Amino acid sequence: MKGLRNYLDKIKPNFSKGGKFEKLHSFYDAIDTLLFVPNKVTSSGSHIRDAIDMKRTMFLVVIALIPALLFGMWNVGYQHFNMLGLYADKTFWEVFAFGLIKVLPIVVVSYATGLTIEIIFAQYRGHDVPEGFFVTGMLIPLILPVSIPLWMVVLATTFAVIIGVEAFGGAGMNIFNPALLARAFLFFAYPSQMSGDKVWVAGLPTAEGVVDGFSGATPLAHIAQNELPKMASFSDMFYGFIPGSIGETSTFAILIGALLLIWTGIGSWKIMLSGVLGALSLGALLQWIGHGNPEITNAYFHIPAYYHLVLGGFAFGIVFMATDPVSASQTEKGKWIYGFLIGVFAVLIRAFNPAYPEGVMLAILLLNAWASLIDHYVIEANIKKRLKRIKIKV
């Protein structure tokens, strides 16, 4: 590795101020620091530092996303061949390869678009390339339907990075989760590509030889259309053998990622747990009201509360999006409230807003906007406690 280091040291002056490729400094720096942890030593304060850095943090989040990604690829193949009634004839690898070919371009396009913009902004602003997009670039493909045109991925990613992050001053200053912003952008700009029954299975709208009765509808759609009997079984939904956004269908795969995030200490278990509790509370309330009241036609009153956890993007959202430390509540007490409200609002939107079959995306974006407000009250409470201490003494 010494040779590589020497080579980097040799070309470094070209990218420094006054060098030939001065304009590519941020790009060089990103590559250099990716290959080598810098030799910088502490100059003030604590002489030793924790081994963790932003690269390790983001790398582990990407690792946590891998189960969902791999399962998503397989499921794309499975849904496709299932639609054609050919699944039984295909080997595991054929199914997986089909999904790989469909999904990989979306991932590549998302990364290429986002990283290019990030590097340009880093150069323009004169700082290092932030690692946040390593995660965002993976999140965006996983929350899109497989049939999404690639140019829309480019558009949405550009929107998310420029309007969602850079306009606020860069990574760490943004209010909304950039990946969700990308999805929301497409959802409202191109609803026909982002919702309905036709977008979740690769090749569905034009495919020939679709088996009779195959609709491509997600379980959420079945509930919204009051077709409970058609809905997939709980175990199919838990393991993810259902149509849906690429990476969000398998609660099981997401759970593996969640455990990794919690065990390593990167993801906030408080947000995840309170989110689950929030969804279960409202879900249970609906179920309780609906129980023995067949005149209530809304199907959400007639499903068990825990179904909410495996339906749609709930698990993915609460594990990977709600826990984004930048857009979440920053106080520890605030995280409980923030997570709980996401759970409640996700179910609320699902059950009572017929325009949006899925509520998680909007619930998280709403709570992103409220996170500072929650923090404000937590901080005020802390201040009041300190003031009270003086009053007691007097």
Partner 1 sequence: MPLKIEISKGLNIPLKGKAEKILSPGQIIGSTIALKPTDFPNLTPKAAIKEGDKVKAGDVIFYDKNTPEIKFTSPVSGTLKSIVRGERRKILEFVIEADSIIEYQQFTVGDVANLSKEQITELLLNSGTWPFVRQRPYNIIANPTDTPKAIFISGFDSSPLAPDLDFLLNGQDADFQKGIQALKKLTEGDIHLTVNGVFPTSKLFENTKDVELHTIVGPHPAGNVGIQIHHIDPMNKGEVVWFIHPQDVLIIGRLFNKGIFDATRIIALTGSEVEKPRYYRTILGSSIDKFLKDNIKPGNHRYISGNVLTGTRIGKEDFLGFYHHQITVIPDGNQYEFMGWLAPGFNKFSLSRTFFSWLMPNKEYVINANVRGGRRALMITGNFEKVFPMDLLPMQLLKAMIIEDIDLMEKLGIYEVVEEDFALCEFVDTSKTDIQAIVRKGLDLMIKELN
Q: Which of 268, 274, 287, 368 binds partner 1 (CB under 8 A)?
A: 268
Alpha-carbon dihedral sign for residues 216, 219, 220, 226: positive
Q: Which of 48, 89, 213, 294 binds partner 1 (CB under 8 A)?
A: 48
**CA 386 to CA 378: how far, in whole Å?**
13
Q: What are phi and psi of 235, to 5 degrees?
A: -70, -35
Interface with partner 1, residue 12, by CB under 8 A: no
Interface with partner 1, residue 161, by CB under 8 A: no
Q: Which of 11, 24, 33, 154 binds partner 1 (CB under 8 A)?
A: 33
**Per-residue interface string for the shown chain with partner 1, residues 320-359, x marking contact by CB under 8 A:** -----xx-x-xxx--x------------------------
| Residue 317: closest CA among 284, 350, 342 | 342
Nearer to partner 1, 292 or 393 (CB): 393
**Per-residue CA distances from 42 to 34, 47, 49, 379 (Å):** 20, 6, 8, 32
Interface with partner 1, residue 118, by CB under 8 A: no
Interface with partner 1, residue 14, by CB under 8 A: no
Interface with partner 1, residue 40, by CB under 8 A: yes
Interface with partner 1, residue 44, by CB under 8 A: yes
CB of 171 to partner 1, least distance (A): 6
Q: Which of 20, 23, 49, 125 binds partner 1 (CB under 8 A)?
A: 49
Residue with tokens 């969700």: 180
Give the alpha-carbon dihedral of 178, 180, 183, 187, to 10 degrees. Answer: -120
Give the list of residues 6+ apart from residue 3 with CB closer than 8 angstroms, or none.
none
Tokens of 338: 């923030």
Tokens of 385: 């406690």
CB of 390 to partner 1, least distance (A): 5
Tokens of 285: 């309330």
Query: Which chain residues interact with partner 1 by CB under 8 A?
Result: 1, 4-5, 33, 35-57, 59-60, 128, 130-132, 170-173, 263-266, 268, 325-326, 328, 330-332, 335, 375, 378-379, 382-383, 385-386, 389-390, 393
